[in-house]
Amino acid sequence: MIKARLKSPWVLHYNCGSCNGCDIEILATLAPRFDAERFGIVNIGDPKQADVLVVTGPANRRNARVLKNLYDQMPDTKVVIVVGSCGATGGIFHNCPNVLGGVDKVIPVDVYVPGCAARPEQIIDGFVMALQKLGEKSRGAKDEKGV
Ligand code: SF4
């Protein structure tokens, strides 16, 4: 089961209020030019079946509840990738009245992909790091259960 998830992770993409720049790069990453699907990475719309949550944009008062809700619906074990500087720190939205800051103000983050906007090559690197984390977490969970 662990191997299957690592070979074909299912990804949920959530725009937390970004300018859409990083989202377009994520779509380019998954589309035929950069073709992340060749590594088995599949974009889906159902949090209950997702292994990886990819978030762009800052956490704010309006989206924090939705972000937490999506994260909580994902089954354990899961990893979170933040793409772009807005999701890491608030970025260009830092100090806006409704902005809380980076995504880690609301949910735990495993991997940060820097950039404004992040490039598809960097996003693919982020997926590779996230899969390593997912493997470590899955093995840890298995050891805890003693299976
Ligand atoms: S990091 Fe830059 S490109 Fe990405 S969402 Fe923020 S402002 Fe837009």
Q: Is the pLDDT of residue 147 over 60?
A: no
Query: Poorest-confidence range of 5-9, 23-27, 48-52?
Result: 5-9
pLDDT tens track for 46-96: 999 999 999 999 999 999 999 999 999 999 999 999 999 999 999 999 999
pLDDT at 6: 76
Q: How far is ligand 1, taken at its centre, from the CA of residue 3, in Å?
A: 33
Of 104, 121, 122, the residue nearest 113 (C-alpha): 122
Phi–psi pair at 92, nearest 5 degrees: -70, -15
Furthest C-alpha separation in the chain:
48
Both tokens of 146, joined, read 């003693």
Ligand 1 centre distance from Cα of residue 21 (Å): 5
- Atom of ligand 1 minimally distant from the CA of 118: 4
Question: Atom 5 of ligand 1 has which residue's CA nearest to it?
Answer: 18
